[in-house]
Amino acid sequence: MKNSNGAFHFKEGEVLLIDKPLEWTSFDVVNKIRGTITRKAGIRGIKVGHAGTLDPLATGLLILCTGKFTKRISEMMGLEKEYTGTMMLGSTTPSFDLETEIDEKYPTDHLTQEAVYEAVFDFIGDIEQVPPLFSAIKVKGNRAYHFARNSEKVNLSPRNVTIETFELTRIAIPEVDFRVVCSKGTYIRSLVRDFGKKLNSGAHLTSLRRTRIGKFSIDHAITPMQFEKMLENFSPEVNEDREL
């Protein structure tokens, strides 16, 4: 992503590293970036897509591709991902995060730092996990979250995923901070739910940030608002023909 002199080539293809704000959907970001390119660069009908959804309550790295580079999206979706976050032990929610209210509470008096650390090893390597019902997975032609929000029960099949790294960076029971490096298709919310079960307690996700996708780091990402500011001096004569 070039930004020193406004040298973008949106139609030929750009890879944009965007830091998704809290409570924005991934499609909110796509629509914002597409609208910004249309308004600021005068390029209508530009293709923009993202390479891997982030939940609204997660922040962090979202890869966007424009123009001809949208053909590379499926390739980028297969890259490993890194997350940091916080879980709360001793309680669960239907969505496995803060999207929904706490539905069950569990004891934590029996938990020690040693027990919490030891539980990690059961989740490293190739594992099976059941995705959250509050997710965009398709069931009977509809997104799973449609059934969840209507309080309808559906069964989701377990998926094989790979957890390369599951590191606990802070333990202050009931809060635990972590870092995870994982394969495509991994749901951190499900990992947290299963971790709580392993501890004979419960757990739900309270914060999540995606920090890396393959070689792409959050350190090089900008917010949608920063991207808009960058395009204030966009020069179509220098960069590309404005007509599609």
Tokens of 232: 């204030």
Say what the pLDDT of residue 146 is.
Answer: 73
Does 28 participate in catalysis according to the annotation?
no
Say what the pLDDT of residue 232 is.
Answer: 83
More confident of the two residues 8 and 225: 225
Does residue 155 contact residue 195 with C-beta atoms inside 8 Å?
Answer: no
Share of the chain above pLDDT 70, in %: 89
pLDDT, averaged across the chain = 90
Mean pLDDT of 127-145: 79
CA-nearest of 111, 46, 92, 77 to 192 is 92
**Does pLDDT of 1 surpass 90?**
no
CA-nearest of 15, 8, 10, 7 to 221 is 15
Mean pLDDT of 94-113: 95
CATH number assigned to the domain covering 81-213: 3.30.2350.10
pLDDT tens, residue by residue, 12-36 = 999 999 999 999 999 999 999 999 9
Tokens of 103: 């539905």
Query: So where are the chain's domains?
Result: 15-78+216-239, 81-213
pLDDT tens, residue by residue, 170-227 = 999 999 999 999 999 999 999 999 999 999 999 999 999 999 999 999 999 999 999 9
Q: What residues contact 39, with CB distance under 8 A and at least 6 apart?
A: none
Tell me 25's DSSP state: -
Tell me 67's DSSP state: G
Say what the pLDDT of residue 137 is.
Answer: 75
The catalytic residue among 55, 126, 219, 241 is 55
Most confident range (mean pLDDT) of 21-25, 153-157, 235-239 is 21-25
Q: Which string of DSSP letters, residue by residue, matches 181-227?
A: EE-TT--HHHHHHHHHHHTTS-EEEEEEEEEEETTEEGGG-B-HHHH
Say what the pLDDT of residue 236 is.
Answer: 56
Sign of CA dihedral 167, 169, 171, 177: negative
**Does pLDDT of 242 surpass 50?**
no
Q: What pTM, to 2 d.p., does this model score?
A: 0.90
CATH number assigned to the domain covering 15-78+216-239: 3.30.70
pLDDT tens, residue by residue, 40-59 = 888 999 999 999 999 999 99
Can you say how many angstroms the Cα of residue 46 is from the centroid of all Cα atoms in its chain?
A: 24
**Does pLDDT of 157 surpass 90?**
no
Of the CA atoms within 13 Å of residue 137, those in its CB half-sphere come to 17
* pLDDT band at 238; cut points 50, 70, 90: very low
Tokens of 155: 């069964």
Share of the chain above pLDDT 90, in %: 77
Say what the pLDDT of residue 80 is.
Answer: 97
* pLDDT band at 244; cut points 50, 70, 90: very low
